[in-house]
Amino acid sequence: MKQRIFMYLFIFSILLILFQYVNSKRVFEDLNIKLENYRSVNTKYKDSIVNLRDELMNLAHFGIEGNEDALSYFENDGYNTSELIPHIKDELYNHNEFKGEHPLIPYASNEGRRMLINTVKILNHRWIIANFSDGEYWGEIFLKYWVTEDKTIEFNLVESFLYPFD
């Protein structure tokens, strides 16, 4: 009787070990599959990050933030560029507050609306490109600007374009 109990315990423990082995093997394989999926997704995301970084560098190519010569031009005159660049944009946006027609936009607005500058991109230490709209018509302007000795900003319209209305 005692031998039978040991034999049944032995068979039961073998079955238990076999069940644990099969179960852990299945769990291990599932984890390996998930890990491979995560690795492939991670590789895809790393490639996307590299592509986005390259695209960002291409887009920032024509901008004052990435133009060391333009920044050093202002720094050589004693300006703090981290304060000056927002000041230039603010001065341009302040032209939106003038009464009547916009002084820099050469197009009349439609039906009581006003042409307003929406977005500004400072290209370098002399040029700005901006887009404008009255809600129905829109376009872009190309400006020259100067920082005078009394730290005021002067703008001069070089070119403008109004998109055709469909």
Tell me the CA distances in angstroms from 158 to 55, 60, 106, 150, one per residue in order: 29, 22, 11, 23
pTM of the predicted model as reported, rounded to 2 decimal places: 0.67
On whether the CB atoms of residues 122 and 88 are closer than 8 A, the answer is yes
pLDDT at position 58: 80
Per-residue pLDDT of the chain (166 residues; tens, 9 = 90+): 788 888 889 999 999 999 999 999 999 999 999 999 999 999 999 999 999 999 888 877 788 887 888 889 999 988 888 999 999 999 999 998 988 888 999 988 877 788 899 999 999 999 999 999 988 889 999 999 999 888 889 999 999 999 987 6
